[in-house]
């Protein structure tokens, strides 16, 4: 029997902390070892997860977990899309859910919170880089939250003995591209 949908309200969202790194590592390792959501092939250890989290949080970007009864059921964060300065108003999202918390609305709840926080912080575009064009769960999640497919890069990864596509999806945040961001030097006057 599959879990009932929309049980995300059983979880509390909060900012991740270094103490969450082992639970996050366990969730991520499962995806690395069994799925195509990540193109990593060797799961990083908890110390590396904590380091990555600290880098993202030091940039003022959201890194959140969903917790229920002291257990982390999933996590999501935003990271810079690319390093060059012209990309500074664009972020990339990542969402990972533990296997026992799938199909309960948790991914939607986590991603909606990351979108809200990035919008409030003044970012204008969010990119999703989805491993495997057959990953209908992630594609559906992003579509539900307003992302549109902007391209597919065929066979750019090789994992589990096969070539894997990468799907790019994009969503405007706030006014998107309809006006320059504040303080960007491109304001109309």
pLDDT digits (tens, 9 = 90+) for 41-64: 999 999 999 999 999 999 999 999
User: Where does the chain show beta strands of DSSP type E?
Assistant: 12-15, 63-68, 71-80, 90-97, 125-131, 148-159, 162-172
Centre a 10 Å sphere on the Cβ of residue 34 and count the other Cβ atoms it contains: 10
DSSP 161-179: TEEEEEEEEEEE-TTTTSS
Place of tokens 């948790």: 106
Kindly indicate the confidence band of residue 182, based on its pLDDT and cuts at 50, 70 and 90: confident
pLDDT at 179 over 50: yes
Question: 8-172 belongs to which CATH class?
Answer: alpha beta
Q: What is the pLDDT of residue 91?
A: 98
Looking at the chain, the whole-number percentage of residues with pLDDT higher than 90 is 84
Rounded to two decimals, what is the model's pTM? 0.91
And the tokens for 189? 């006057």
pLDDT band at 7 (very low <50, low <70, confident <90, very high): low
Residue spans per domain, the chain: 8-172
Instruction: Give 11's contacts (C-beta < 8 A, 6+ positions apart).
Output: 66, 67, 68, 73, 74, 101, 106, 109
Q: How confident is the model at residue 10 (pLDDT cuts 50, 70, 90)?
A: confident
Rounded mean pLDDT, 5-30? 89
> Using an 8 Å Cβ cutoff, are 166 and 150 in contact?
no
**pLDDT of the residue at 8:** 60
| Amino acid 159: pLDDT | 97
Confidence of residue 6 (pLDDT cuts 50, 70, 90): low
In percent, how much of the chain has pLDDT > 70? 92
CB atoms within 10 A of CB 57: 16
| More reliable by pLDDT, 185 or 95 | 95
Local structure of 69: helix, strand or coil: coil
Checking if the pLDDT of 85 tops 70, the result is yes
The predicted structure's pLDDT at residue 174: 95
């Amino acid at each position: 029997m599959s879990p009932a949908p929309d049980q995300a309200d059983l979880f509390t969202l909060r900012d991740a902390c270094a103490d969450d790194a082992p639970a996050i590592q366990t969730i991520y390792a499962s995806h690395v070892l069994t799925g195509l959501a990540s193109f990593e092939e060797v799961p990083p250890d908890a110390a590396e997860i904590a380091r990555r989290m600290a880098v993202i949080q030091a940039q003022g970007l959201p890194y959140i977990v969903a917790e229920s009864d002291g257990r982390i059921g999933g996590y999501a964060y935003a990271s810079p899309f690319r390093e060059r300065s012209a990309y500074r108003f664009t972020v990339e999202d990542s969402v990972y859910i533990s296997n026992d918390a799938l199909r309960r609305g948790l991914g939607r709840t986590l991603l909606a919170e990351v979108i809200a926080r990035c919008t409030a912080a003044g970012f204008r575009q969010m990119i999703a880089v989805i491993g495997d064009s057959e990953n209908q769960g992630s594609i559906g999640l992003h579509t539900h939250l307003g992302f549109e497919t902007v391209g597919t890069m065929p066979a750019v990864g090789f994992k589990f003995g096969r070539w894997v596509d990468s799907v790019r999806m994009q969503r405007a945040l706030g006014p998107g591209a309809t006006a320059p961001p504040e303080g960007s030097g491109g304001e109309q006057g």
